[in-house]
């Protein structure tokens, strides 16, 4: 688990398509799409971290964000 700021977030209207750019990673990371609600909730946490300049603790596996804690 890595503590990092979130440089940017992005989502489309398509199901389970949300992304974040953690400052500690080199490039965009897709939010793991196990469930629609899971992607939405994870995206909201990442967007909150971005909006408030709060560090997020993230877990990245196979270039996908699998866990987030604030």
What are the residue boundaries of the structural domains of the chain, listed by start? Answer: 2-69
Token digits of residue 34:
């196990």
Architecture of domain 2-69: Beta Barrel (2.40)
Long-range pairs for 43-51: beta carbons < 8 A, 24 or more residues apart: 43/9, 43/11, 43/18, 45/70, 46/6, 46/9, 46/20, 47/9, 49/5, 49/6, 50/5, 50/6, 50/7, 50/8, 50/9, 50/20
Strand pairing class (64-69; 29-31): parallel
pLDDT for the residue 39? 95
pLDDT for the residue 36? 87
Question: pLDDT tens, position by position, for the chain (70 residues)?
Answer: 899 999 999 999 999 999 999 998 889 999 999 898 999 999 999 999 999 999 999 999 999 999 999 9
pLDDT for the residue 63? 92
């Amino acid at each position: 688990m890595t503590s990092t700021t979130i440089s940017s977030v992005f989502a489309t209207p398509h199901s389970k398509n949300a992304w974040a750019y953690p400052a500690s990673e080199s490039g965009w990371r897709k939010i793991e799409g196990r469930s629609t609600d899971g992607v939405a909730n994870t995206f909201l946490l990442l967007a909150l971290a971005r909006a408030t300049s709060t560090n997020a603790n993230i877990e990245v596996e196979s270039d996908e964000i699998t866990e987030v804690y604030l």
